[in-house]
Amino acid sequence: MATLTLNNVTKRFGKKVVAVNDFSLEVPDREFLVLLGPSGCGKTTTMRMVAGLEEVTDGTIFIDGVDVTDLPPRRRDVSMVFQNYAVWPHMTVYENIAYALKLKRMDKKTIDKTVKEAAEMTKIAELVDRYPSQLSGGQQQRVAVARAIAVKPKLFLMDEPLSNLDAKLRVATRTELKTIHDQTEATTVFVTHDQSEAMSLADRIVIMKDGEIVQIGSPDDVYHRSVNLFVADFIGTPPTNFMDVELKVENGDRHLINPHFDFKLTPENAAKLQNYGRKKKLVLGVRPESILLVGEEDSILSAQCLVSEPQGSHQIVAIELGDKLVKIVAPAHPRIESGKTVHLTFDQEAIAFFDSDTGLRI
């Protein structure tokens, strides 16, 4: 396959709108890279510049060491799978997959072999004589993926290809996409705003905000070592709970004080705040699964269950701390009913600290 390099790429629309700003990234051969971020963060614009569908305002793009910044899409040797499938309605599945191969002037025997291989890989071999109108949304998306596979491009680009599918089909299809990626060993760039999709598919995730890269890392990196409040809030379902706390030292021990709790830090966590400076206020970040149900004698705070949401394998318990809603991932049993008092503590190994002014992780 290929490597992809973006050097200081910027895209402006008019004089005022900067959709992508000074974007630099190296995607090695065979990697599955996901661009993740909220709507309007520039991820699709970035992909469209790689594909050649948007002009680059500043910067350069290289595919396999070749500068493609000013090349038309057809000369970049990339395949793109779109959100809306974009299959030809007047062609059969077979003809859809074969179309680009015919443009390459392949002989009929090679085309037939390639189409059948792509159809087998995407599990639509029995559908090749049907028209798109006779297919479900999931099947049409498989046709789009098969068409992309068939031309054996240097680079696969996928722009939210699962967003039009229902929840169950989405989960099944993303597993298939990962399997296809492993089989083809393709270099793939995948755009999504769905963080669970990104976590399950990616070798690395690029988290974007306002046209810029906020963090690049493995799914574990961005989840457990979020660089700032934005990433910690964006990654994870339910999202991270944030609590404003004050740092106090008593008898040599460091405590985090909140109107609802007094939390003594372990020496390891205390050391992280040793050089925090003269600031006394910070933000404590605790993931829902890192708030633990304990007996009253071991708790740091107690609160009434506002609502419990059963999820089968677990339950999500919501409590209120002042004006903040805090969510806890708890075991499925025993079921916690609304109004019941729960006793809680934090897993010290999994908490994070953020500067209240900059939002950066301490």
Token pair 């003594």 is found at 264
Tell me, what's the pLDDT at 170?
Answer: 86
Same domain flag for 347 and 200: no
Same domain flag for 299 and 332: yes
Domain presence at residue 268 = yes
Domain presence at residue 274 = yes
| Mean model confidence pLDDT for the chain | 93
Same domain flag for 306 and 261: yes
Domain count, the chain: 2
Q: Residue 277 pLDDT > 70, yes or no?
A: no
Tell me, what's the pLDDT at 1?
Answer: 67
Q: Residue 279 pLDDT > 80, yes or no?
A: no
Same domain flag for 55 and 24: yes
CATH number at 330 reads 2.40.50.140
Domain presence at residue 360 = no
User: Are the C-beta atoms of residues 130 and 92 closer than 8 Å to each other?
Assistant: yes
Q: Average pLDDT in the 297-306 region?
A: 95
Tell me, what's the pLDDT at 173?
Answer: 86
Same domain flag for 212 and 251: no
Q: Which of 186, 219, 234 is the last residue of a domain?
A: 234
pLDDT in tens, 11-51: 999 988 999 999 999 999 999 999 999 999 999 999 999 99
% of residues, the chain, pLDDT over 70: 99
Q: Which of 177, 212, 234 is the last residue of a domain?
A: 234
Q: Which of 234, 251, 267 is the last residue of a domain?
A: 234
pLDDT in tens, 212-234: 999 999 999 999 999 999 999 99
Tell me, what's the pLDDT at 274?
Answer: 84
Burial class (CB in 10 A: 0-12, 13-18, 19+), 43: buried
Q: Residue 330 pLDDT > 80, yes or no?
A: yes
Same domain flag for 127 and 88: yes
Domain presence at residue 361 = no
Tell me, what's the pLDDT at 86?
Answer: 83
DSSP notation for 220-284? HHHHHS-SBHHHHHHSSSSPPEEEEEEEEEETTEEEEEETTEEEEPPHHHHHHTTTSTT--EEEE
CATH number at 226 reads 3.40.50.300
Same domain flag for 82 and 146: yes
pTM, two decimal places: 0.90
Same domain flag for 297 and 218: no
Domain presence at residue 273 = yes
Residue 242 to residue 233: CA distance in whole angstroms: 9
Token pair 């493609």 is found at 68
Domain that holds residue 315: 241-355
Same domain flag for 102 and 189: yes
